[in-house]
Structure 1
Amino acid sequence: MGHLLEGILRLPPWIALALVFLLPALEASAFVGVILPGEIGVILGGVLANQHKLPLAAVLVAGILGAVIGDSIGYWVGKRYGETILSKIPNRILKPEHIKRSEESIRQFGGKAVFIGRFTAALRALVPGMAGMSHIRYGRFLAWNVLGGAVWATAFVILGYLAGSQYKQIEHYANYIGLGLLVAIGAFLFLRHRRAKKTATQPSS
């Protein structure tokens, strides 16, 4: 993996930018994420921006578009061909427990599972297709997809930008970082909701 990452960093800038888009785009649309996590592309995009080989804004746009478009394709592929595709992927590549976790997330959270799944590699590749198979309304799916894709891509691009040459440490712990980010978002929303509820119940003077 290390040689692959170093090779990407040595690519011509326009090819590297294309990979920043393609790796997250292929993650869910073609189930590539079960082998190669898409955050690798956006982290390296941030590193290249740190090295002044790519504009930071271009990397952010490419990463966000790749995440959102890829998940949307994954949704429609899952809706049309999901059962057939899953039955043909070997268990050594796509673990049954990951499929089970994805199904449970969809049942428990509905459209919100698209946002939640964005922050773990195993769910990120599967949840969009599972959402299509579960016939979640596309408008609802898209809203959570855009929100999750924007937060996820921005976070990992910025992490790569700040890490610079130390990017391998982030790449190694990317899944834990994603989970930590999700917990932080959940805690923030919970505290905000609690504060708003407390304010609403206070008697006005």
Structure 2
Amino acid sequence: MLENFNALVDGLPPAVVYLIIAALVFAEAALFFGFLFPGETAIVVGGVLAASGHLSLPLLLVIAVGSAIIGDSVGYEIGRKYGTRLLATRPMEKHKAKVAKAQDLIRRRGAFAVFLGRFTALLRALMPALVGASRMPYPRFLVFNAIGAVSWVVAYTLGGYFAGQAFDRAATMVGRGLAIALAVLVVVGLVVWSVRKRRREAKEEDEAREDAEHDTPVPR
């Protein structure tokens, strides 16, 4: 597993790998890239690379946290500037159910919704802009954004780091072949879970869209 990751970054200086991870984490909310690529994937891979010695774990944590805070701050400014016009964009229209869920969370939990949204992929992409559109004061947003960013980055990066270390220990104890087979089974399980989760979310989106169309009054 670690050998495969090392092969992917072979020839790339660590500075470039840090830059790629920072760009993916930043773009998740700032450019709504989270609709396509969850940012935690980048930091988990970064954690695995840190376990292999290719990256510095402390530096990775600092870069990822900084990128998450700045990216969300840009998303907040986009929402504050464009407000309701943002809701008419294609990504927002496509995920009406998630947008409604995020707006309801903001109404019920206020700034704490920023922290809660950090741990769900689509909400993480949506929340900063929707909070900005709601005109929440930026200092209040920043506090909960920073707390959420630190918690999220540390949890997922260390998860990747310890997973990488565990693989090396397993390879030493049971042999690299069996360890690779177990790793493949875990990856397949995660892929199946992710596909089912996305299908379930897509079904919820369709149902929410149908309900909205059904509830819309017909002009006379």
* Range class of TM-score, shorter chain: 0.7 to 0.9
Q: Secondary structure at the match of 2:135?
A: coil
CA offsets 1:167-193 (integer angstroms, 9 cap, x no match): 84797568xxxxxxxxxxxxxxxxxxx
Q: Does 1:25 align with 2:26?
A: yes
TM-score of the pair, normalised by structure 2? 0.69
* Structure 2 counterpart of 1:188: none
Q: Per-residue deviation at 1:153?
A: 0.3
Q: Per-residue deviation at 1:37?
A: 0.5
Q: Per-residue deviation at 1:96?
A: 0.9
Equivalences, count: 169
What 5-or-longer segments of structure 2 have no aligned partner?
168-182, 195-220
Letter in 2 for 1:18: L
- RMSD, matched Cα: 2.5
* Structure 2 counterpart of 1:117: 117
CA offsets 1:148-181 (integer angstroms, 9 cap, x no match): 000100110000101126584797568xxxxxxx
**Where do 1:46-125 residues align within 5 Å?**
46-90=47-91, 94-125=94-125
Bigger Rg, structure 1 or 2: 2
Shift in alpha-carbon separation, 1:156–1:22, aligned structure 2, 3 A: same
User: Residues of 2 paired with 1:81 and 1:11: CA distance?
Assistant: 42
User: Residues of 2 paired with 1:83 and 1:170: CA distance?
Assistant: 40
User: Residues of 2 paired with 1:158 and 1:123: CA distance?
Assistant: 22
Q: Does 1:159 align with 2:159?
A: yes
* Structure 2 counterpart of 1:39: 40
Q: Per-residue deviation at 1:122?
A: 1.5
What 5-or-longer segments of structure 1 have no aligned partner?
175-205
CA offsets 1:91-125 (integer angstroms, 9 cap, x no match): 78x41101111111111111110000001112100
TM-score of the pair, normalised by structure 1? 0.74
User: Residues of 1 paired with 2:16 and 2:25: CA distance?
Assistant: 15
User: Residues of 1 paired with 2:189 and 2:18: CA distance?
Assistant: 19
* Structure 2 counterpart of 1:196: none
Contact 2:92 2:99 in 1 (8 A): no
User: Residues of 2 paired with 1:48 and 1:106: CA distance?
Assistant: 36
Percent identity of paired positions between Structure 1 and Structure 2: 36
